[in-house]
Structure 1
Amino acid sequence: MAESVPVCCPECRREHTYTPPVYHCDCGAPVVLPLRRDVPPAQVHHRTWDDSWVEVGCSACGTSVQWPQPELGCGCGTLLRLPVAAHADHSGAGALGPAAPDASDTPDASRVPPASTSGAAGRTSEATATGALEECAGKRTSRTRPSFQPVTIRTAQDARTAAAQYLRWLGFDAVRVTEKRAASGVDLRGGGIVAHVDPSTDPTGFGDVETLWLNGLNEEAGTACFSLAGYTREARMRADSLGVALFVLDLTGMPQAVNDPADDLIRSVC
């Protein structure tokens, strides 16, 4: 089993524990990507597919294979990419320090665009979404679930499939995946939930979050958003005010909750 390592977010100074995923080489040996102790994690503001994969050689047979670059999403909205050494061993790595400062501009909270809906409507929407989730959760019976088995993401459709599989694992019934990008911005529907999946290399913005919320309001369903590149600060603040659950997907297909509504969504299901 891979050794967990502490990671410090440079933005909010929150301490996290990260466990590298375990892959399997074609030779059958388990491969744990060795995290470097001498290089701090880097903040990700713009994602490219090339930067999202790392080539690591198996220490058992020497074969080099491309694996998803280890990433960690902090609850403050910062996405961190963890540095990896060239050759894998079969153990974890040591502690990682604070990430190096990033020169990119970060939007200030004072520049957040005004909400297009009134406060009363926002509070009504939160009650509607919360009620839909609670009603849906109440229909499920308590059970012991197996561990979530993620889907490796290499295409946009893989990202939608991974998000749908996660929602089904949480217990939402009959989650359907759209074959093409829907004009409404809703990529997944079913079991009292609507979801948007953003597979782009840019952070998901304010407009995508609010459009998803409006769809959930119209359908009296809970809302969840999945992003490969994280979220802008405006999007996070708007999602918090509207009760939209935000998740970040890494390329292994494993979602991470990045706001309180996402944590509430996970806790609301058995």
Structure 2
Amino acid sequence: MAESVPVSCPDCGDSHVFTASAYPCPCGSAVSAPLVVGAPPTRIVRRTWDEEWVTVSCTECGRQDQWPQPELGCPCGALLRIPVRPVTAGARSDAVNAAALYLREIGFPDVLRSGERPETGVDLRGPGMVARVDPGARPADSRAVECLWLSALTESAVSAFFSLAGYEDEARENADSLGVSLFLLDPTGVPRPVNGPAAELDRSHA
């Protein structure tokens, strides 16, 4: 789903809600530029070819393509360029690989990519472990955490969630109550525990 961000025109001060356009990835997924919430737009005074395009990574297959830079035309006449989060280690393949390597290092040597689609809530699976990896630009929500917990409950396994953009407050609260380990992937792909269950998992298998 394409995301929306509030935008304030630097010329007239009017407020707008901008929704990023979605484009089709060859894998079949809809791809939209990861907008930066709260970052001020820049006024386009003179166009250059290089600034017309932005690299966007598909969160499903990891493919990177060039798509039009998001722009908003204000009724006052100003043409605004909407800030986009740069592509880092957020490609799904890189993020999943980083999470798998970490899990193997802390005591789950047989963890492998799941053959199921991400909608099931599981990207990695091994004896006693199921994990989900979210390389998206928005914080993971409570529903994603609950879906992973249900998968772990079905398989009598430990659950670990890895996110590049962090977690919504409700997601953190639910993860704490359900015992789901939450990890934050930094731009280099290194996981960091961000709640009690994750810290305990990290310590117990160190």
TM-score normalised to the size of structure 1?
A: 0.43
Cα distance, 1:177 vs structure 2? 1.4
Aligned with residue 150 of structure 2, among 185, 200, 214: 214
Within 2, Cα distance between the matches of 1:193 and 1:180?
A: 15
Q: State, as a whole percentage, how many aligned pairs show the same letter.
A: 52
Indicate the SS of the match to 1:162: helix
Structure 1 residue runs without a partner (length 5+): 1-45, 52-151
Aligned counterpart, 2:66: none
**After the TM superposition, which residues 96-245 of structure 1 pair with which residues of structure 2 at under 5 Å, given as runs?**
153-178=89-114, 181-245=117-181
Cα distance, 1:157 vs structure 2? 1.0
Within 2, Cα distance between the matches of 1:191 and 1:197?
A: 18
- Could you list the per-position Cα deviations for residues 51-90 of structure 1 after superposition, in whole angstroms to 9, with x for gaps in the alignment? 9xxxxxxxxxxxxxxxxxxxxxxxxxxxxxxxxxxxxxxx
Within 1, Cα distance between the matches of 2:102 and 2:149?
A: 20
Aligned counterpart, 1:269: 205
| Cα RMSD (Å) | 2.0
More moved, 170-179 vs 210-219 = 170-179
Q: Between Structure 1 and Structure 2, how many residues are aligned?
A: 123
Aligned counterpart, 2:196: 260
Cα distance, 1:183 vs structure 2? 2.9
CA gap of 1:158–1:200, structure 2 versus 1, over 3 A, is same
Within 1, Cα distance between the matches of 2:140 and 2:90?
A: 19
CA gap of 1:263–1:202, structure 2 versus 1, over 3 A, is same
Please tell me whether the aligned partners of residues 188 and 195 of structure 1 are also in contact (alpha carbons under 8 angstroms). yes
Please tell me whether the aligned partners of residues 90 and 135 of structure 2 are also in contact (alpha carbons under 8 angstroms). no
Please tell me whether the aligned partners of residues 90 and 164 of structure 2 are also in contact (alpha carbons under 8 angstroms). no
Within 1, Cα distance between the matches of 2:117 and 2:135?
A: 11
**After the TM superposition, which residues 46-57 of structure 1 pair with which residues of structure 2 at under 5 Å, given as runs?**
none
Amino acid in structure 1 at the alignment position of 2:189: G
Within 2, Cα distance between the matches of 1:154 and 1:233?
A: 21
**After the TM superposition, which residues 1-20 of structure 1 pair with which residues of structure 2 at under 5 Å, given as runs?**
none
Within 1, Cα distance between the matches of 2:90 and 2:136?
A: 12
Indicate the SS of the match to 2:133: strand
Within 2, Cα distance between the matches of 1:236 and 1:219?
A: 22
Cα distance, 1:156 vs structure 2? 1.2
Please tell me whether the aligned partners of residues 157 and 179 of structure 1 are also in contact (alpha carbons under 8 angstroms). no
CA gap of 1:267–1:224, structure 2 versus 1, over 3 A, is same
Task: Give structure 1 regions of 4+ aligned residues with deviation exceeding 4 angstroms.
Answer: none
Within 1, Cα distance between the matches of 2:144 and 2:125?
A: 16
Indicate the SS of the match to 2:162: strand
Indicate the SS of the match to 2:96: helix
Within 2, Cα distance between the matches of 1:253 and 1:155?
A: 10
CA gap of 1:217–1:47, structure 2 versus 1, over 3 A, is farther
Amino acid in structure 2 at the alignment position of 1:208: A
TM-score normalised to the size of structure 2?
A: 0.56
Amino acid in structure 2 at the alignment position of 1:249: L
Please state which structure has a larger fraction of its residues in strand: 2
Aligned counterpart, 1:130: none
- Could you list the per-position Cα deviations for residues 127-147 of structure 1 after superposition, in whole angstroms to 9, with x for gaps in the alignment? xxxxxxxxxxxxxxxxxxxxx
Cα distance, 1:153 vs structure 2? 2.0
